[in-house]
Amino acid sequence: MISVCYVLISAPVLSQSTEYQLVVDGELVALTFQDSTDWIKGVDELLLTWWKQGYVFSGVDSVMDKTTYLHKGEKVGIYNVQLSTYNSDLDSFVVNEQVDGDNIWKLIDSQIKYYRNSGYPFAQAKIHTIEHGHEWSSQVKINPGPFIKFDSLILINEVNIGRQYLNNILKTNSDQPYSEDVFEAIPDKLKRLPFLELNEMPDVTFVDGKAQVYLNLKESKQSSFEGVVGFLPQSNTNDLIITGYLDLTLANLLKSGKSLQFSWNRFADQSQSTAISYSHPYFLSSPLFVNVGFHLLKQDTSFLNQIWQLETGTYLGNSSELFFGFNSENGSLISPDELDLETGVADFESKVYQLGLRSSYANLPFDLGKHFKYLLNVGIGDKRLNRNPGIDQMAYDSLDLLTQKISVKGFTRTQWPVTPTLFVYHEIRGQLLYNDQLLVNELARIGGLKSLRGFNENFYFAKDYLLSRLELRQYFEQRSYFMLFYDAMYLHSLTDTSYPQGFGLGLNLNTSNGLFTFATAIGKESNLPMDFANIKVHIGYSSRF
């Protein structure tokens, strides 16, 4: 009987600049490594490949002066494999059913992975190979090793965050079985917290059956106050209308990742909007989150809309969320007139239930597109037209007062490098809206610095649309860059289809306390030439604290 251990080599990881070489059965192979980390990984992968090919006697002979000597050995055909796993309750090995030799490595990999994610990070497999003439059979014993539990998070630098909240995110709560997948996912899960950054990769030590995870974190200011002033020329009078918006974001409230956002926007004469939202992650220490929002929109002297939003959901994997939502929207006429119904404006209320999937990275001002983000949201519900006492009631006789409403919304955002300092940023968003009695005052509003640049804020009313925002960014600091941008949109309103575009250039300048933004843009509508008298200028500053 010959015993072959399914245990890969290990050695202290000391980064060096000299080359490491491999010699197999006396011949130098065309593989070299620049440091010991790559060398250990390369030898492990090579041995594992050989073992899976049937060279079960391959191994390391010696290591001399940065040269590793290996032997490949004879290839054998294993036709019968018996697998035994350790039962901690019985304190003995339990023989499982026999396994076909072609599937043994897949089975060993799955068993080792299971143990290492169930509290046994030192699980090993030993193969005892037996010769029967010219054929072979094997007995495989998987020894899980000592049982390990998560013990505590050790923060090398103190940061402004609650330990329980951090444990909930990372799934490293004390007395939970240690899991390699959980430990390796820590960097990705920390990306959900934009107010924290990793200085170096996490580390772990095992002492007396307990795993201590070490994190070297630093805080990143993400609470912000932002103000933007816009100057919009009037083509008929050549006068300037001063518009703008204010945004307040309070991140990591009570050291628990909660956030509060408030915004106010004056986008036209006598027109403005206000929004407030609250986000509560890991509600009552559960894997659920709760979001609440309110939005108020006033369009000159025409109508007033109020929207209440409630969401709850759970986290999927390291970077996604599954959510369920409920939207209640009420629209009312400010100065009721029968002509409003003829132009598609009326009092209404709708209740829509939503189901969606999106990336779980927080949408905060200083992210600047470094993470891929996406959203897919489907909503279905009912809409009711309300009779306004200031309008002749007979005007409603030809209208469907109760109808079904369906919406589909999508969003993606990514940024990729062309050179170390030149990046392409691309954002796509869209909507499909279905209803037999659609109104102007329930359509999406598009236009302005945060949507279609080169046009007034909320200039377009869109039933269905697809918007592309493309930027070429030349970074000269981590968050500072010059940009050229091009926005293009397919838009379908209640009556027609158009293809507006926006062009421009701008600057984002990161300062010690905030972010200065300057952008100038010009818009082009379908079949109309560009009017340089209508250049839009936006100046803003986001203060971090």
Scored b (16 or more CB within 10 A) or e, 333-355 reads beebeeebbeebbbbbebebebe
pLDDT tens, position by position, 315-334? 998 789 999 999 999 999 99
> Can you give the pLDDT at residue 22?
83
Residue 177 DSSP one-character state: B
**Three-state DSSP class for 129?**
strand
> Can you give the pLDDT at residue 377?
97
> Can you give the pLDDT at residue 422?
94
**Three-state DSSP class for 68?**
strand
Q: What is the DSSP string of 228-277?
A: EEEEEE-TTT--EEEEEEEEEEEEEETTTTEEEEEEEEEEETTEEEEEEE
CATH 2.60.40 fits 2-71, yes or no: no
Q: How many CA atoms lie within 13 A of 428 on its CB side?
A: 8
Tokens 């007395």 identify what position?
Answer: 175
Rounded Cα gap, residues 198 and 219, in angstroms = 9
Rounded Cα gap, residues 433 and 427, in angstroms = 20
CB 517 within 8 A of CB 504: no
- Beta bridge partners of residue 445, listed in sequence order: 461
Task: Tell me which residue of 298, 308, 300 sits closest to 330, measured CA to CA.
Answer: 308
> Can you give the pLDDT at residue 103?
66
- What residues in the chain have per-residue pLDDT under 50? 1-17, 90
**Three-state DSSP class for 40?**
helix
Number of C-beta neighbours around residue 454 at 10 A? 27
**Three-state DSSP class for 409?**
strand
Task: Tell me which residue of 483, 260, 509, 469 sits closest to 362, measured CA to CA.
Answer: 260
3-state secondary structure 202-217: CEEEEECCEEEEEECE
CB 94 within 8 A of CB 87: yes
pLDDT tens, position by position, 457-490? 889 999 999 999 999 999 998 889 999 999 999 9
> Can you give the pLDDT at residue 12?
36
- What sign does the CA torsion over 299, 460, 525, 474 have? positive
CB proximity list for 476: less than 8 A, separation 6 or greater: 421, 482
CB 219 within 8 A of CB 195: yes
Rounded Cα gap, residues 121 and 177, in angstroms = 10
**pTM higher than 0.85, yes or no?**
no
Q: How far is CA 144 from CA 55, 82, 123, in A?
A: 24, 17, 4
- CATH (residue range 224-544): 2.40.160.50
Task: Tell me which residue of 282, 116, 143, 125 sits closest to 211, measured CA to CA.
Answer: 116
Fold designation for 149-219? Ubiquitin-like (UB roll) (3.10.20)
